[in-house]
């Protein structure tokens, strides 16, 4: 297994991986329902991310195929916070059939190391409700609940 920063040539495979993750989230909550043009929109978004210095897109490659995706970013909080630089882990996904082999942990370690090099001392993320496997993964990785997000349809 090889974990590395994603490249422009990876875009089609990364779009497919993200689509699998998005469909999982869509099943958990209709708020994540994909638009008709989601593929093209995500491809454009991904290409934009690959050009940014404050974002790292990571892929895991096994046996010549991409089987994992992770996206992290560095955010800057307002000046009234002492610790302004925060890492945000946007996505970590390992394709079914490849789970349980340390791929997610390896991608997470890559993101965390990159964030530390960017001066980040705290990383945050959200987990969809109803995804106990993801909750257990993050718990094992040392991430603790400290905020709760709530939503309401208006």
Residue 80 pLDDT > 90, yes or no?
A: yes
Neighbours of 39 (CB within 10 A): 15
> Structural domains in the chain?
2-140 (3.40.630.30)
Residue 154 pLDDT > 90, yes or no?
A: yes
User: What is the distance between the alpha carbons of residues 148 and 43, in angstroms, rounded to a whole number?
Assistant: 30
User: What is the distance between the alpha carbons of residues 56 and 50, in angstroms, rounded to a whole number?
Assistant: 7
Q: How confident is the model over 102-140, as pLDDT tens digits?
A: 999 999 999 999 999 999 999 999 999 999 999 999 999
Residue 39 pLDDT > 90, yes or no?
A: yes
- Structure-block tokens of residue 107: 């991608």
Confidence of residue 149 (pLDDT cuts 50, 70, 90): confident
Strand 123-125 vs strand 85-94: parallel, antiparallel, or unpaired? parallel
Q: Record the pTM.
A: 0.94
List the one residue out of 116, 8, 28 whose CA is nearest residue 72.
116
Q: How confident is the model over 128-137, as pLDDT tens digits?
A: 999 999 999 9
Q: How confident is the model over 43-63, as pLDDT tens digits?
A: 999 999 999 999 999 999 999
Buried b (16+ CB within 10 A) or exposed e, 20-33: ebbeebbeeeeeee
Neighbours of 45 (CB within 10 A): 13
């Amino acid at each position: 297994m090889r974990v590395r920063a994603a490249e422009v040539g990876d875009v089609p495979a990364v779009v497919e991986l993200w689509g699998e993750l998005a469909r999982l989230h869509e099943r958990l909550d209709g708020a994540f329902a994909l638009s008709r043009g989601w593929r093209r929109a995500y491809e454009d978004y991904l290409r934009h991310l690959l050009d940014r210095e404050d974002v790292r897109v990571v892929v895991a490659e096994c046996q010549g195929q991409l089987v994992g995706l992770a996206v992290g970013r560095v955010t800057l909080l307002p000046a009234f916070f002492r610790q302004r630089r925060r890492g945000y882990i946007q996505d970590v996904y390992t394709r079914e059939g490849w789970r349980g082999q340390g791929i997610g942990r390896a991608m997470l370690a890559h993101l965390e190391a990159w964030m530390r090099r960017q001066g980040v001392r705290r990383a945050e993320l959200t987990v969809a409700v109803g995804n106990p496997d993801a909750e257990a993964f993050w718990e094992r990785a040392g991430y603790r609940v400290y905020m709760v997000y709530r939503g309401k349809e208006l």
